[in-house]
Amino acid sequence: MSYEGWILITGALVGITCGIVGAYLILRRMAMMADAISHTVLLGIVIAFLITQSLEGVHMLIGAIGAGILTTFLVQWFHSKGVEHDASIGVVFTSLFALGVILISTAVGNVHLDIKHALMGEIAFIPWNRLTLFGFEIPVATATLLLVLAIVLFFVLAFYKEWKITSFDPALAVSLGLPVMLLHYLFMTLVSITTVASFDAVGAIMVVAMLITPAASAYLWTNRLSIMLVLSAAFGALSAILGYYVALWLDSSISGSMALMTGAVFLVSFICSPSHGLVSRWVRPEETTKAQ
């Protein structure tokens, strides 16, 4: 496959995987957790390097996932102690990310771990790092994202009803005897894995954009969870593909252009959505008011 093809596939996989996970984040009103985890995984990556002195291997993945789970635990713990949820996210997010930045600036300053790469990523380099899988050469990042997408789809299908109930009515979930906290931490582990798989390829900024914006766009088009999941994944993939060609046209950052296109898709949705869009409010103001 061509160099361009691998970039498009990898970007689309990021969009699809993040779109599916992001739909639940939007419904649970936890959009800022995506921002927090996508930044605090940096601390896990740095600590993994300090322990092993190597930038290759599964330990980097384990460290990043551990940082994501730690972020989730600390946010939930502070919230359970009376701290507002948004404040908990802000405190944990800024503190752990700042610690990661400090460690990069001091302990690993002479190694190829830099803040700019962590924030923006460089998807253009993805096709050069390959492995042989079933006789085919495939970029490592693409293979990782394929595996993560399979894991996400498995758990979404396996716990579809449970996560649907806990997302829309946590009190009902508790009354039905569902293990709400276990399901919460399982879901946040999926968020961490998705974030980590996307982090090296596209950086923190695009991960946040892909986790939040396609899902927010899909939310404007439908009231059904199943359709929202499909639309969110489709909007994520579309944004990645459009973003690549916009980057070529502008001769700019590929990841940044992909993130920009998620905003463009949201703007179109915000204007054209049949039930929540600006046009529908102008054309049918009374019906829109009743629907709300």
What string of pLDDT tens digits covers the 292 residues of the chain?
677 888 899 999 999 999 999 999 998 888 788 778 877 887 887 888 788 776 565 777 788 788 888 888 898 888 888 888 888 888 998 899 888 888 877 755 555 555 555 555 667 777 777 777 777 788 888 888 999 999 999 999 999 999 899 888 888 888 888 888 888 888 888 888 888 788 766 776 778 889 999 999 999 998 899 999 999 999 999 999 999 999 999 888 888 888 899 999 999 999 988 777 677 666 665 554 554 5
Task: Say if CB 17 and CB 197 are below 8 A apart.
Answer: yes
Phi first, then psi: give them for residue 246, nearest 5 degrees.
-65, -40
* Total Cβ atoms within 10 A of residue 55: 14
Rounded to two decimals, the pTM is 0.84
CA angle 147, 149, 151 (to 5 degrees): 70
In single-letter form, the type of residue at position 93 comes to F
Q: For residue 167, what pLDDT is reported?
A: 85
Q: For residue 109, what pLDDT is reported?
A: 52
138 sits in which H/E element: strand 136-139
The neighbouring-strand residues paired with 133 are: 136
Q: For residue 252, what pLDDT is reported?
A: 83
* Total Cβ atoms within 10 A of residue 121: 27
> Tokens 């059904």 belong to which residue?
224
Q: For residue 269, what pLDDT is reported?
A: 92
Phi first, then psi: give them for residue 226, nearest 5 degrees.
-60, -45
Token couple for 237 = 């993939």
- CA neighbor of 40 nearest in space, from 116, 83, 99, 81: 99
Q: For residue 193, what pLDDT is reported?
A: 85
Q: For residue 117, what pLDDT is reported?
A: 52
Task: Say if CB 236 and CB 18 are below 8 A apart.
Answer: yes
- CA neighbor of 22 nearest in space, from 285, 235, 174: 235
> Tokens 């599964």 belong to which residue?
58
The CA-atom distances, in angstroms, between 9 and each of 3, 124, 281 are 10, 12, 37
Give the separation between CA 211 and CA 220, rounded to whole angstroms. Answer: 16
Q: For residue 22, what pLDDT is reported?
A: 92
